[in-house]
Structure 1
């Protein structure tokens, strides 16, 4: 029923053409806790986030905080089961940089309600099922397999009584390789399926990369354009504002947003 109403709205609204829908998910920032309203050049971004300095959804200060073990961004502690090895931590920093800074995640932006991780108090947006390149997941797992954690899903279930995340009572710290038995398990489960393990490699141009050579430019813009074109299912669509407003006027389908 919801899908049928959605189709009616998109057809009935004169400006809601295929091109409008495609353009609406390209070069955009999420409505999330620390994102800018619109992407743009930052001049200088800190450390690993510098890959996005030419066109970023994050500020320089956000990029600096992304590198701290205990930052104001989410008060999240990487070292909840002992000190996380630097070779492992760099992947989580890079993951944070992609999430905060990338303007190329539009095809996978999903609406979330109030109280969702990383969203504004009244709700906002997250990413869901971003196809992460095989090599990026494999290297992430390889560099983290000897590190320790007590949870499979890092988005929820922590003990926050101290102001930062601690392992819930009764949980045990185990090696990543036991909690996440494969690269796919790590990439897909650690952030509630924000990522999807892609069988495709970086050279395919059909998966999002965490890492690239800055001299060659950002390859993820072309990947987002490919999925936004409808060449493959990108996940839930980011609707033009008129269509979203139309949905909000329909009580029967408000609950699906």
Structure 2
């Protein structure tokens, strides 16, 4: 049993150490990114819109933000950046779920790092994403088109013909000069490369046998990602020195995560 715990710690401690910004457990478990649309602290919402609904009991986003995600384009990001190609509804639904996670999840504390951009001062880095969720996302988008692998850094941004909500002109993303549009399957090759790369290492493809985040869940059994964040935060806060305490959190994680695994 001690050997089992040691193997777990060898795997997850280096991942945590790379990104942690705090050792305060309560802070790590209630972290909203310092970013444009996020609340300062997680809390309940009376309702959230469509794909963001599962986070309404404890959320870093507001209903207004989630409605904008579905009905408009708060960041003016163009998913249809390949000329003549429109992203499929199924693929777009998964990107909406990904965006809901970004705006709404209070469980990213163990992976938050600083960033200097006009719309945010923090981001999350290498959050462990369950391989099964990643594979479903990749399969849904495999035949859609893109022209670059890193969607956070590689696009060119030009003045858009659309107006921002403020009434001023916005900038939108276009394919880099000389880039060729290919299917997502051709650009990335496999699900792991896709999830690890598409948002500049925000996600880390993680085997389902290890503690990992669900991209989306139905919410009826609670938020399975609470237990995952608690597991990592417990280790960061110093509990890794207590074998039996880590084991207790392992069993808690397995019970809650397994309940929510089949949607």
Q: What TM-score, normalized by structure 2, do the two folds share? A: 0.74
Match of 2:215 among 210, 220, 223: 210
User: What displacement does 1:114 show?
Assistant: 4.1
**Displaced runs of 4+ in structure 1, greater than 2 A?**
none
User: What displacement does 1:231 show?
Assistant: 7.4
Conservation of the 8 A alpha-carbon contact between 2:147 and 2:179:
yes
Conservation of the 8 A alpha-carbon contact between 2:112 and 2:122:
yes
Question: Structure 1: 5+ residue runs without aligned partners?
Answer: 1-18, 234-257
Match of 1:198 among 206, 217, 230: 206
Would you tell me which structure has more strand in proportion to its own residues? 2
3-state SS in 2 of match to 1:197: strand
User: What displacement does 1:232 show?
Assistant: 11
- The 1:216/1:150 distance shift into structure 2, 3 A limit, reads same
1:126 maps to 2:123 = yes
CA distance in 1, matches of 2:217, 2:177: 40
1:150 maps to 2:147 = yes
Q: Which residue pairs with 2:232 in the alignment?
A: 227
1:46 maps to 2:49 = yes
Cα offsets for 1:209-242 (capped at 9, x unmatched)? 0122321111111100001111799xxxxxxxxx
Q: Which residue pairs with 2:75 in the alignment?
A: 74
Aligned positions of 1:13-162 closer than 5 A: 21-68=24-71, 71=73, 73-81=74-82, 82-115=85-118, 118-119=119-120, 124-162=121-159
Question: Structure 2: 5+ residue runs without aligned partners?
Answer: 1-21, 160-170, 239-263
Q: What TM-score, normalized by structure 1, do the two folds share? A: 0.75
Q: How many residues are matched?
A: 204
Would you tell me which structure has more helix in proportion to its own residues? 2
